[in-house]
């Protein structure tokens, strides 16, 4: 059986940008401990394991690991795994695929240009809005002043598959200055269970984009993420509820990773249904390397 792996740049507009991802194929025989060792060996934000090249009745099963632990969902890991299944395993144009991750089934779709996959879209779970944080606490957590926090909007935990504390700030400069204060972060994790912090502003490096963001999640083994698809889904849901509550649908572009020299671009959509909001996050993928593992 072929035991291949791939190194990808996900949410990348070119090589050596975006969020790095390793994807391993035919990984069903690996124990969870082996997958964890491999993810630490690669040491990217996440590593995806496609259990088999053959689907079962519900689709392809994918497990996702950070350097610290297995997680139930990752936008960029699902997106990259779907790209490998389409381009390297199936090798034919497809409108979509069904993947199974820890949170349940996920639908992935493909947009093509000149006969090649241009953008991969991942549908997220229905949004869940959770606990809130005071602006003073958020500022202390991020080493910012309270004036940096945009108090027009709530600081709130949102999940469309994985939860993030959403912190709106007023300017690109505030995003650039943000740095998690270790003691405050430890208190956040120990008292609330919240482990990932997502900072965003409507001021951007590129005027074509709508948000500049950063994501910090040291408790997952990710001090800072170059591009966070799961959080982009949360931003889409947050925008639909608070920033554009009268809109029936939204589309926007999110830039991330500039501060750590991995510029990334994520696309997000939100649709308001009769009784729920649905979100999807998309991006481009570049294969950097192929290899075999033992």
* Same domain assignment for residues 107 and 178: no
**How many domains is the chain built from?**
2
* Same domain assignment for residues 88 and 215: no
Query: 3-state SS of the chain?
Result: CCCEEEEEEECCCCCCCCEEEEEECCCCCCCHHHHHHHHHHHCCCEEEEECCCCCECCEEEEEEECCCCEECCCHHHHHHHHHHHHHHHHCCCCCEEEEEECCEEEEEEEEEECCEEEEEEEECCCCEEEEEECHHHHHHHHCCCHHHECCCCCEEEEECCCEEEEEEECCHHHHHHCCCCHHHHHHHHHHHCCCCEEEEECCCCCCCCCEEEEEEEHHHCEEEECCCHHHHHHHHHHHHHHHCCCCCEEEEEEEECHHHCCCEEEEEEEEECCCCEEEEEEECEEEEEEEECC
User: Residue 278 falls within a domain, yes or no?
Assistant: no
Q: Which residues contact 56 (CB under 8 A, 6 or more apart)?
A: none
Q: Which residues contact 198 (CB under 8 A, 6 or more apart)?
A: 164, 165, 166, 167, 213, 214, 215, 228, 231, 234, 235
Q: What is the pLDDT of residues 70-95, one digit of tens each?
A: 999 999 999 999 999 999 999 888 99
Residue-level pLDDT at 198: 98
Q: What is the mean pLDDT of the chain?
A: 96
- Whether the predicted pLDDT of 136 surpasses 70: yes
* Same domain assignment for residues 97 and 138: no
* Same domain assignment for residues 143 and 257: yes
User: Residue 275 falls within a domain, yes or no?
Assistant: no
> Model confidence at 1, in pLDDT bands (50, 70, 90)?
low
Domain containing 239 — which CATH number? 3.10.310.10
- Whether the predicted pLDDT of 165 surpasses 70: yes
- Whether the predicted pLDDT of 291 surpasses 80: yes
Domain boundaries, position 37: 4-124+283-292
* Same domain assignment for residues 117 and 223: no
Q: What is the pLDDT of residues 13-60, one digit of tens each?
A: 999 999 999 999 999 999 999 999 999 999 999 999 999 999 998 899
- Whether the predicted pLDDT of 147 surpasses 90: yes
Q: What is the pLDDT of residues 169-207, one digit of tens each?
A: 999 999 999 999 999 999 999 999 999 999 999 999 999
* Same domain assignment for residues 242 and 288: no
């Amino acid at each position: 059986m072929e035991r291949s792996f791939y190194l990808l740049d996900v949410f990348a507009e070119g090589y050596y940008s975006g969020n790095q991802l390793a994807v391993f194929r035919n990984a069903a025989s690996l124990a969870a401990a082996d997958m964890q060792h491999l993810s630490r060996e690669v040491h990217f934000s996440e590593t995806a394991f496609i259990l088999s090249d053959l689907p079962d009745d519900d689709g392809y099963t994918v497990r996702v690991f950070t350097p610290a632990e297995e997680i139930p969902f990752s936008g960029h890991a699902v997106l990259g795994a779907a790209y490998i299944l389409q381009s390297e395993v199936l090798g034919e144009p497809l409108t979509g695929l069904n993947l199974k991750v820890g949170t349940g089934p996920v639908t992935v779709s493909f947009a093509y240009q000149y006969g090649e996959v241009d953008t991969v879209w991942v549908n997220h779970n229905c949004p869940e809005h959770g606990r809130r944080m005071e602006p003073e606490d958020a500022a202390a957590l991020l080493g910012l002043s309270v004036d940096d926090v945009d108090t027009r909007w709530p600081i709130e935990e949102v999940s469309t598959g994985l939860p993030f504390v959403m912190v709106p700030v007023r300017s690109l400069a505030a995003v650039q200055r943000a740095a998690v204060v270790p003691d405050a972060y430890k208190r956040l994790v120990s008292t609330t269970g919240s482990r990932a912090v997502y900072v965003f502003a409507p001021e951007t490096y590129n005027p074509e984009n709508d948000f500049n963001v950063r994501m910090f999640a040291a408790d997952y083994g990710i001090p800072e993420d170059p591009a966070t698809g799961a959080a982009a889904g949360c931003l889409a849901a947050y925008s639909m509820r608070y920033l554009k509550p009268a809109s029936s649908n939204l589309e926007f572009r999110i830039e991330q990773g500039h501060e750590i020299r991995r510029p990334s671009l994520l696309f997000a959509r939100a649709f308001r249904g009769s009784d729920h909001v649905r979100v999807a996050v998309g991006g481009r993928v570049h294969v950097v390397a192929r290899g075999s593992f033992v």
